[in-house]
Amino acid sequence: MHGSLAPGRPRVNSAIGAFLLFTYAGFGWRKLKTAHMAHHASPGSADDPDFNADDPHSFWPWYILFFKRYFGIVSFLFVLSVVLIYVLVLGADYFNVVLFYGVPSIASSLQLFYFGTYRPHRHGQGDFPDMHNARTNDYPVWLSLLTCYHFGYHHEHHLYPQEPWWRLPLRRSERMVASGEV
Q: Who has greater pLDDT, 118 or 179? A: 118
| C-alpha closest to that of 56 among 157, 159, 107, 128 | 128
pLDDT at res. 16 = 96
| C-alpha closest to that of 129 among 11, 3, 43, 7 | 43
Question: pLDDT-derived band of residue 19, with 50, 70 and 90 as boundaries?
Answer: very high
pLDDT at 182 over 80: no
pLDDT at res. 179 = 86
Per-residue model confidence as pLDDT tens digits over 109-159: 999 999 999 999 999 877 898 999 999 988 999 999 999 899 999 999 999
User: Which H helix or E strand runs over 96?
Assistant: helix 94-97
Q: Over the chain, what is the mean pLDDT? A: 94
d(CA 52, CA 69): 11
pLDDT at res. 127 = 81
**Cβ contact 153:159 at 8 Å:** no
Percent of the chain with pLDDT over 90: 90
pLDDT at 107 over 80: yes
Ranges of each domain in the chain: 10-129
Per-residue model confidence as pLDDT tens digits over 39-80: 999 999 999 999 999 999 999 999 999 999 999 999 999 999
DSSP string, 12-81: HHHHHHHHHHHHHHS--HHHHHHHHHHHHHSTTSTT-TT--TT-SS-HHHHHHHHHHHHS-HHHHHHHHH
pTM: 0.90
Question: pLDDT-derived band of residue 170, with 50, 70 and 90 as boundaries?
Answer: very high
Task: Name every residue whose Cβ is closer than 8 Å to that of residue 1 and which is 6 or more positions away in sequence.
Answer: 13, 17, 32, 33, 36, 37
**Cβ contact 112:148 at 8 Å:** yes
**Cβ contact 18:34 at 8 Å:** no
